[in-house]
Structure 1
Amino acid sequence: MPPLRGTGANPEAEHPEYAGHYRLEACLGAGGMGVVHLARSTSGLQLAVKVVHRHYSADPEFRARFRQEVGAARRVSGAFTASVVDADPDAARPWMATLYVPGPTLSDQVKRNGPMAPAELRRLTAGLAEALRDIHRAGVIHRDLKPSNVLLSDSGPKVIDFGISRPYDSDLRTETGKLIGSPPYMAPEQFQRPREVGPAADVFALGAVLVHAATGRGPFDSDSPYIVAYQVVHDEADLAGVPTDLAPLIGQCLAKDPAERPTPDDIMAALRPPSYDAAAFIPSQRRPGAVEAPAVSGPRIATGADADTHAGAGAAARGRKATASGGGKRRWLAAAAALLVMGAGGVWAAGVVGDSGGSGESDGSGESGESGGTAAAFAPWRTPLPTSGSSTPVCSSAGGAGEEASGPSAALYCA
């Protein structure tokens, strides 16, 4: 996400300049537990550094939770999360540095651009399922998967913020009477049996996140967190607006019974074949397969045979037009006429300039005319030039002096 460089009063008036030996450059965002800053390592690597609020630093229970967050984030660092670079949970102000991931959160993306297109949603579903698979394989339950904890990078979604996650084998449990999480994305068991929460709770949250991505709202929607909690436990999810091909799968993720929800592996199997061709998350991202046209270093003289010998690139060849000005065209024609005079026996064989950037001419078979391997098999058309005494032939384009020659059948006429 982009740095937030605001002015005016800041609730965290004692913002530090350093976390360990990392100089904090800008504020990326703030939450209930701390502030995330942009920083750089000694080598210049961009980092996101989370620094705990000062009033939590003196709380032993919070320090224990932050230490657990650091441990969980380190266990799952990989392709689908922001890798931990450094941390000090025992510092006066505990902090943790992870790799900075450029790209908006899913929450910001939907807020700015509206619901995702079906292809984007399919790719998001596959990416988050892969992320949860790796998180659960590491023995960690996230417990707070929501749109603001999903970063959309050009390589796919990244799951961040393991502030309330816990390993399966953790002795640190939720205290009786305490609910930790974000109600619209919490599973029913997080309200009813918080000590028994397992990996299936993350799958429920995934379903709610996907509904938000598809519609701009959650499957359980209310201004009151208490009403949302009731809806999560008792009401059916609202899937209106979710693409029909994904609605059954997302509905299964939102099942009330954890045993009825699919696993991340089940979700990925349901999405086969893979969605490699889905559109990129970020609008400015280059589309796969987009290749810029190579620069042409000189004039291209095309013949009627060009349409056959270069059929694979027909669309590009037919759309190319000469861009030279009238004066430039005259200089070009004069140069062509000079070459014609120099030709043996007054014979001109038209070729095609190679796309490889070299100065050789193509023999029509895709190989250079100097290679000798297939040059003998190529028979170019020939036009004897009319001569009258010592006069020099005058050449013009097929379209006449005032028109541009273009397309696969453009030619020169000399008289």
Structure 2
Amino acid sequence: MFKNLDFLQTGNVRVLVIDGSQSELKKMSDILSANGYEPSTSCSGERGIMTARQILPDIILLEADLPDISGYEVCKRLKSQPQTEDVPVIFITADTEKDDVLQGFNAGATDYIIKPYVDDVMIARVSAHSKLAVKSRQEKMLSEMIDKYVLEIIIDTSGIIKYISSAFARLTGYEPDELIGKSFDMLKHPEAFRSAMPDILDSVKNKYTYYKEIDIVAKNGDRCVLNTFAEPLMERRGNVTGAQCFMVDVTSKKELELIAVTDKLTRLHNRQKLDQVMNYEMSQFQRYGTKFSVIIIDADDFKTVNNSHSYHIGDKILVKISGILLMNVRDSDTCGRWGGDEFLVILPKASEGDAVIVAEKLRKTIAERDYGIDNNVTVSIGVAEIEKGETVAKLVASAGKALYKAKKSGKNCIVAYSETDNPV
């Protein structure tokens, strides 16, 4: 992800020298300082272990023969502790016997420097191992930062979850063992049209990057909206082994956007959203010739209902009518509150005749519903289909003209614009 991790390194490389000889400690300390390193020294094994825990060096130079405990024991103990297990240990010793060398490597040593050593050779080895150690630590720090703060999930080519970051676990409320080994499909939100997994896998298998907004469900049932960036994971030979997905939580943003286009009372779309949808359908009509129709619905004598039963009862009736609209149109249709006691339904790929059929179903269902009052609740409906050369404003005006005729014709009925006087 990052080619240069130097921003994670502060100060000079820290080298801890553990040796029982004060003269050797001074000699190595002077050499290291002269070459830009930051040396610390300890003259015994126990003190060296304690110092290593405190300063967390980048590399340790360790004499095998110490006055209190052996260097091999020191190395084993350093490698057994989480704070120092990854720190490279270079033994400095005059022992060149095979068994001694093997004992050092078995204890966890990274390398050996044989006494008497050449200063430049020692520095070269310290430089090589410290660079690797610093890079490894930087990568580990970065990995921990990503795990803590970045929403990440890895799936294999079958859609099985192999890894989730701590940030993803916090967002969704799942423990890693509740998701790892399970299908990514289990995160699909119940209201989502389809799972995102097939599209993600199709993209990465073809070595493309996937970028899309997806809906998932948290453990408590909450909806999470995530901008998802997925790229293929590949083995050394280039074969795709899965997908690495990075995500940005945009749930709050989406909730605010939804509030902005939702009518507070009925929870239907508001006029702003209806305008957006009609403008989109108009662009489809102008580009591809795909027709669409609109239905305008107005509650009959609703002022009388409000005056007789209170605005509170009137609001409840509007909410019930809204529910009827949602239950009796297609998923592709858009219902909204046009204003007051007026509603508008947008029907993509529907002719005027198709819209009249839907309108009649709505009119009949609304009239038959029990609203808990002695007044009959009915609606008048106007229907219009987009025509060549029309604007959205003209289409709505045509539906409004049809609605006006329905009101004049006795209410509780439907009029299509083509049935009005001089439709143009």
Q: TM-score normalised by the shorter chain: which range applies?
A: under 0.3
Structure exhibiting the larger radius of gyration computed from Cα positions: 2
- Please, what TM-score do these two structures have when normalized by structure 1? 0.26
Tell me: higher relative CO, structure 1 or 2? Use CA pairs within 8 A at least 6 residues apart: 1
- Please, what TM-score do these two structures have when normalized by structure 2? 0.26
Q: Which has the higher helix share?
A: 2
